[in-house]
Structure 1
Amino acid sequence: MKKAVMQLETLTCPSCMKKIEGALDKVEGVENVKVLFNASKAKVDFDEAKVSADELKEIVEKTGYQVQAVKTN
């Protein structure tokens, strides 16, 4: 299991947070998603055999939010 932390553009409302969590939660291979509103970060635990960090970034960007950086470990 890998972890990714995505630095997002500044989130302006709690519904933005729910929209991002909902989009990532639907992805096969994603085990856990936590979006931190005040820090504008998304923390994702995922199975890299099923989905990559780049694919997760694309999914967030397709919901209309810019990802400024992605760190994995």
Structure 2
Amino acid sequence: MAQTTLKVQGMTCGHCKASVEGALQELTGVTKAEVNLEEGTVNVSYDEADVTIEAMHEAVEEQGYDIV
């Protein structure tokens, strides 16, 4: 199991948190996604054999947020 922290721009509320966490958790291989609104980050636990960082970026960006 691997972990990464993504810096996400534009998250300001509970809906933002739910959108980003939900999009990431739908990806095969992601076991946990936890947003910290104050820091503008999301901590992701995932299986490197099933999902890539690029796929996570795409999932977040499809929700309308930018990865920085």
TM bin, normalised by shorter chain, reads over 0.9
Q: Segments of 4+ in structure 1 off by > 2 A? A: none
- Alignment partner, residue 52 of structure 1: 52
Aligned length: 68
- Alignment partner, residue 20 of structure 2: 20
Unaligned runs of 5+ in 2: none
RMSD: 0.9
Secondary structure of 1:4's match? Answer: strand
Letter matched to residue 12 of structure 1? T
Alpha carbons of structure 1 residues 10 and 64: separation in structure 2 relative to 1, 3 Å: closer
Unaligned runs of 5+ in 1: 69-73
TM-score w.r.t. length of structure 2: 0.93
Contact conserved, 2:9 with 2:65, CA < 8 A, in 1? yes
| Equivalent-residue separation in structure 2 for 1:10 and 1:4 (angstroms) | 19
Identical columns (%): 31
Q: How far did residue 10 of structure 1 move?
A: 3.8
